[in-house]
Chain A
Amino acid sequence: MPALWIFIAVLVLAVLGFVLGRQRALAMVDGDSRHLHSLPNYYGFHVGIWALVPALLVLAVWLIVQPMLIDTSVQSMIPDTSYATDGELSLVMSDVRRVADGLDLAVERGALTVEEAATLDTGATDVRALLGNVGVAIGSDVQPEVLEAAQAYRASTATGNMARTVIVLLLALAGLGWALRRTAPNFRARNSVEKATLGLLIAAASIAILTTLGIVLSLIFNTIEFFKLYPASEFFFGTTWAPSFGGGSELGILPLFWGTFYISLIALAVAVPIGLFAAVYLSEYAGPKVRAVAKPMLEVLAGIPTIVYGLFALVTVGPMLVNVFGNEGALGLGWMSGGTAVMTAGLVMGIMLIPFVSSLSDDIINSVPQAMRDGSLGLGATKSETLKQVVLPAALPGIVGAVLLAASRAIGETMIVVMGAGAAARLSLNPFEAMTTVTAKIVSQLTGDADFASPEALVAFALGMTLFVITLGLNIFALYIVRKYREQYE
């Protein structure tokens, strides 16, 4: 039985368990639910949970562990002579799996009977052509040892699947039966259901945390790998970024880092004042009608995909800036030679960040208690004095948090940079020149035919790790600032 069917069967059992549990609880008190410790539904949920959770947990573990075990045992069947490196072994293994899957498919389509499939011989049949007929393409002729391994693979998979079906269904039934037996009028079904809910909440929280941990670990391992191939000092202090896949690349992070910093700086210089002023207007001065229209409009900006901003940078803002600052530009300055520049990406990214700053700041300004404003107005302060001297200082920690959040976004932004700032890694002060950022270079190092063992590809992980450490530092700094002001103000 495939896993999906097992899953559905367990679900059906759980629903059945719910109904049975509820009925049994009610039957025990002759239908008078006041004599039960909990509401009848809780008895139902209790039985349902016992039918569902242990069975699904085992199913999930089984789905992960079985292929691993079978792979290991089948791998040992393949003779050492047929592969030289681990990479080749994994190629052979993927052939084995394809052949095994293909044979299953052939049986399913009726091209082979079950016995024929089990007794297939490379000498007698052209397995490659046979599998090709059912739509499974194999790269080369099937070797006898591969076919043998595939047969073993099929056999153990079939046994495993059978055992899986039986055990999971039995477990669901056992859970159902056990929970049903425990159902009694004084059984605390509500408490036990709440415990299960708590477990669910904890599981959700740990998944988020474990995923973060996993991402960090994968970054760390690959970064360590990179630093084995490339000296860390040259990576961190090198001023040239010139990767060449033939070898002899120079992979200094400084030009990329400078590009990231410069573009983010321009973006924040655009977003912070505009966003903050917009927030002040919306929260303090705008009437309810204006607010009802303007706030959603502003938040639409946050919903635009960054690639669209990238297009906007490429097609509209870039040429516009060239018209002003370019060689033939209105000012005749000749500062800018092409549409892709730090300024283009920075401006567009700033526009993207406006809703972040304004929306968050608006909420924060609104959360300053009215009593504060009344106090100030009652002393004869004007609205703007109240705002400047009471409301904004009280909202400052939150606003700093909003700005730093926007900064994190700016540092991590990729698409606008790729399309607006160009791909040239250089250290320059001129904001009208093309530059690039860490994120854009991660993309260009990993897309294409990069060999994942070369420093040119692995550098992406080191770049990612550096970026992660920087944003993490920024977030910790934001927390620190917020806490510091909190202490002072509350």
Chain B
Amino acid sequence: MYDSPKSETAVQHAIKIAANKVQVYYGDTHAIKDVDVRIEDKTVTAFIGPSGCGKSTFLRTLNRMNDTIDICRVEGEILLDGENIYDKRVDPVQLRAKVGMVFQKPNPFPKSIYDNIAYGPRIHGLAKTKADLDDIVEKSLRRGAIWNEVKDRLHAPGTGLSGGQQQRLCIARAVATEPEVLLMDEPCSALDPIATGQVEELIDELRESYSVVIVTHSMQQAARVSQKTAFFHLGNLVEFGETSQIFTNPKDPRTESYITGRIG
């Protein structure tokens, strides 16, 4: 359906993730049909589509979070830097360290702010000394644009923060393990407009170092933060291209119906 991203912007980035003929089944339900997608490095890619179209499911196949669901089955191949992540030799645990994830609802651990951030670096042995760890925590919190708000209470529980702060904490936590790709599943759906604005700003900054994939229900958000947009409908990838092209000049009539509000 789609071959290679048409380059309207100046910089052409390397392909980070390539999905070929991906099928996902939940038991007998065929949830994702024949999806091919190329996700570029240092780019924000947005997945849009009506509820139940499979965009979150597809996002979760990218770091094998679907493995935790017993009845879920994935066919086809997903290459991360040219290596199939569904290969038997790949450890999903290591994969998830490379492909981080931020969830719809902020889910800080019932630990202190410091321990929330230090969680990933600790289990992956990223810090040799306490000072190293302190550095990682500070750096991550700064990248999560929340350092100034929490620097005086690093040992207060993370669950005591406001919703927007919690979500930025979760983003900082995901950043702390130094992932190469950051997956975000409707990260702003539980946030108010101000917190949403802060998170979007953050996503834009994260683009400098990571490939970011974001699932969103808000077309305005997709238009604001992403460079590439994929439109899913009923388990099919209908259209994938430059965000500006999708929103101004969609090729598929279904995409046009969706973004003009006639379906979905």
Q: A residues bordering B, Cβ < 8 Å?
A: 287-288, 369, 371-382, 385, 389-390, 393-394, 488-490
Residues of A within 8 A of B98 (CB): 380
Q: Which residue of chain B has the shortest Cβ distance to A369 in the bound complex?
A: B107
User: Contact: A374 with B110, CB < 8 Å?
Assistant: no
Residues of A within 8 A of B25 (CB): none
Residues of A within 8 A of B174 (CB): 378-379
Partner of A394, one of B94, B110, B119: B110
Assuming A378-B174, A393-B110, is B105 touching A371 (CB within 8 A)? yes
Assuming A374-B103, A489-B157, is B65 touching A380 (CB within 8 A)? no
User: Contact: B119 with A488, CB < 8 Å?
Assistant: no
- A interface footprint on B99-131 (CB within 8 Å = 1, 0 otherwise): 011110101111100000001100110000000
User: Contact: B68 with A489, CB < 8 Å?
Assistant: no
Q: Which residue of chain A has the shortest Cβ distance to B119 in the bound complex?
A: A379
Partner of B96, one of A287, A288, A379, A390: A379
Assuming A372-B107, A488-B157, is B65 touching A377 (CB within 8 A)? yes
User: Contact: B107 with A389, CB < 8 Å?
Assistant: no
User: Contact: A375 with B170, CB < 8 Å?
Assistant: yes
Assuming A380-B120, A380-B123, is B159 touching A489 (CB within 8 A)? yes
What are 21 A-B pairs with beta-carbon distances under 8 A? A373-B68, A374-B101, A375-B109, A375-B173, A376-B109, A377-B68, A378-B100, A379-B177, A380-B95, A380-B97, A380-B123, A381-B93, A382-B93, A382-B123, A389-B119, A390-B110, A393-B109, A394-B109, A488-B110, A489-B157, A489-B159
Residues of B within 8 A of A381 (CB): 93, 119-120, 123
The docked-state distance in angstroms from the alpha carbon of A398 to that of B96 is 30
User: Contact: A378 with B109, CB < 8 Å?
Assistant: no
Residues of B within 8 A of A490 (CB): 110, 159
User: Contact: A379 with B120, CB < 8 Å?
Assistant: yes
Residues of B within 8 A of A380 (CB): 93-98, 100, 120, 123-124, 177
Query: B27 → chain A, closest Cβ, in Å?
Result: 13
Q: Which residue of chain B has the shortest Cβ distance to A389 in the bound complex?
A: B119
User: Contact: B159 with A377, CB < 8 Å?
Assistant: no
Indicate if B165 sits at the interface (CB-CB under 8 A): no
Partner of B103, one of A288, A375, A389: A375
Residues of A within 8 A of B93 (CB): 380-382
User: Contact: B110 with A379, CB < 8 Å?
Assistant: no
User: Contact: A374 with B107, CB < 8 Å?
Assistant: yes
Query: B187 → chain A, closest Cβ, in Å?
Result: 12
Give chain B interface residues in 135-180, CB to chain A under 8 Å. Answer: 157, 159, 170, 173-174, 177
Query: A475 → chain B, closest Cβ, in Å?
Result: 24
Residues of A within 8 A of B255 (CB): none
Query: B124 → chain A, closest Cβ, in Å?
Result: 6
Indicate if B243 sits at the interface (CB-CB under 8 A): no
User: Contact: A378 with B63, CB < 8 Å?
Assistant: yes
User: Contact: A379 with B68, CB < 8 Å?
Assistant: no
The docked-state distance in angstroms from the alpha carbon of A212 to that of B173 is 50
User: Contact: A378 with B96, CB < 8 Å?
Assistant: yes
User: Contact: B157 with A379, CB < 8 Å?
Assistant: no
User: Contact: B100 with A379, CB < 8 Å?
Assistant: yes
Query: A371 → chain B, closest Cβ, in Å?
Result: 4
The docked-state distance in angstroms from the alpha carbon of A374 to that of B98 is 15
The docked-state distance in angstroms from the alpha carbon of A381 to that of B96 is 8
Residues of B within 8 A of A287 (CB): 70
User: Contact: A374 with B157, CB < 8 Å?
Assistant: no
The docked-state distance in angstroms from the alpha carbon of A390 to that of B111 is 8
User: Contact: B123 with A378, CB < 8 Å?
Assistant: no
Q: Which residue of chain A has the shortest Cβ distance to B101 in the bound complex?
A: A378
User: Contact: B123 with A374, CB < 8 Å?
Assistant: no
Residues of B within 8 A of A372 (CB): 107, 109-110
The docked-state distance in angstroms from the alpha carbon of A60 to that of B159 is 54
User: Contact: B97 with A371, CB < 8 Å?
Assistant: no
Q: Which residue of chain B has the shortest Cβ distance to A379 in the bound complex?
A: B120
Residues of A within 8 A of B110 (CB): 372, 390, 393-394, 488-490
Query: Which 9 pairs, one residue from A and one from B, show the smallest C-beta to C-beta distance?
Result: A380-B97, A489-B110, A378-B101, A371-B107, A380-B96, A375-B107, A379-B120, A394-B110, A382-B93
The docked-state distance in angstroms from the alpha carbon of A105 to that of B157 is 76
Assuming A371-B105, A371-B107, A490-B110, is B65 touching A378 (CB within 8 A)? yes
Q: Which residue of chain B has the shortest Cβ distance to A486 in the bound complex?
A: B110
User: Contact: A379 with B107, CB < 8 Å?
Assistant: no
Residues of B within 8 A of A394 (CB): 109-110
Residues of A within 8 A of B97 (CB): 379-380
Q: Which residue of chain B has the shortest Cβ distance to A287 in the bound complex?
A: B70
15 more contacts with CB within 8 A, not counting A378-B103, A379-B97, A380-B124, are A372-B110, A373-B68, A375-B109, A376-B109, A378-B65, A378-B101, A378-B102, A380-B93, A380-B95, A380-B177, A381-B120, A381-B123, A382-B123, A393-B110, A489-B159
Query: A384 → chain B, closest Cβ, in Å?
Result: 11
The docked-state distance in angstroms from the alpha carbon of A390 to that of B107 is 11
Q: Which residue of chain B has the shortest Cβ distance to A386 in the bound complex?
A: B123
Q: Which residue of chain B has the shortest Cβ distance to A375 in the bound complex?
A: B107
Q: Which residue of chain B has the shortest Cβ distance to A395 in the bound complex?
A: B110
Partner of B173, one of A369, A379, A489: A379
Residues of A within 8 A of B103 (CB): 371, 374-375, 378
Residues of B within 8 A of A373 (CB): 68
Q: Which of B63, B96, B97, B157 counts the most chain A CB atoms within 10 A? A: B96
Query: A210 → chain B, closest Cβ, in Å?
Result: 39
Residues of A within 8 A of B107 (CB): 369, 371-372, 374-375
The docked-state distance in angstroms from the alpha carbon of A441 to that of B175 is 63
Q: Which residue of chain B has the shortest Cβ distance to A393 in the bound complex?
A: B110
Residues of A within 8 A of B101 (CB): 374, 378-379
- A interface footprint on B73-94 (CB within 8 Å = 1, 0 otherwise): 0000000000000000000011
Q: Which of B68, B70, B108, B109 counts the most chain A CB atoms within 10 A? A: B109
Residues of B within 8 A of A288 (CB): 70
The docked-state distance in angstroms from the alpha carbon of A381 to that of B174 is 12
Residues of A within 8 A of B123 (CB): 379-382, 385, 389
Partner of A376, one of B63, B105, B119: B119
Residues of B within 8 A of A382 (CB): 93, 123
The docked-state distance in angstroms from the alpha carbon of A219 to that of B125 is 60
Residues of B within 8 A of A376 (CB): 109, 119
Residues of B within 8 A of A489 (CB): 110, 157, 159
